[in-house]
Amino acid sequence: MPHDLTLLRRPFSEGIAENSSVGKWAELWLKFLIVQDGSATLICETIANGPVRLDIIHQETTTEVPDDIRAYLAGERFIERQVCISHQNEVMMDNLTYISLEQVDADIQKHLEESQSPIGYIFNAKLTRKRPVPSPESVLSLLWQRSGMPDPDAARSYILEVQNNSCMFITETFRSGMRYGLPLC
């Protein structure tokens, strides 16, 4: 699916007055987003007070993944999937995910290959656990190459374990849309 250029994509802290009370709150909010281990999709929907938009920027089945990914995920066949989650034409998150097809069951594989919904919905149906890992530069570089905007301070990576199998490597970059409805100064 081609990238929608009408979406507003801004770094997480853009537009916030420096040393303001909102700036201090936004800094704490970003720390919370980075360390939380629940569904970021659910957080987006809560902030938006309803459904969010998912754009699949890139998705392919491949045998070629960065070496950084092979250090965390076993397998030979992977889905590389980059998505953008937005609300009211403002980007909330840009995500790049690698999924080891040998490590997921048929239900998850079908959801990923055929669905137009966020990966976060898998969390409701399967026993999952997130394990934070450093964000590899190779993954961040590809994510930002496609999304067009680096923001290293607002990025995180983790391994998603479904039923005790490390099956997904997910990198998320939170954007200013995660501050929906908040004042800027």
pLDDT of residue 1: 40
Q: What's the mean pLDDT in 64-93?
A: 94
pLDDT of residue 12: 93
Amino acid at 59: Q
pLDDT of residue 166: 92
- pLDDT surpassing 70 at residue 45: yes
d(CA 159, CA 130): 6
Q: What is the pLDDT of residues 129-185, one digit of tens each?
A: 888 999 999 999 999 999 988 999 999 999 988 877 899 999 999 999 998 877 665
Amino acid at 151: D
Q: Which position has the higher pLDDT, 141 or 21?
A: 141
Please, what is the average pLDDT of the chain? 87
CATH number of 39-178: 3.40.1410.10
Round the CA-based radius of gyration of the chain to a whole number and report it.
16
pLDDT of residue 178: 92
Q: How would residue 2 be classed by pLDDT, with cut points 50, 70 and 90? A: very low
Among 8-17, 93-102, 112-121, 172-181, the least confident range: 112-121
Domain boundaries, the chain: 39-178
Q: Which contacts qualify for 121-125: CB closer than 8 Å, 24 or more apart?
A: 121/41, 122/162, 123/38, 123/39, 123/41, 123/42, 124/39
pTM: 0.88
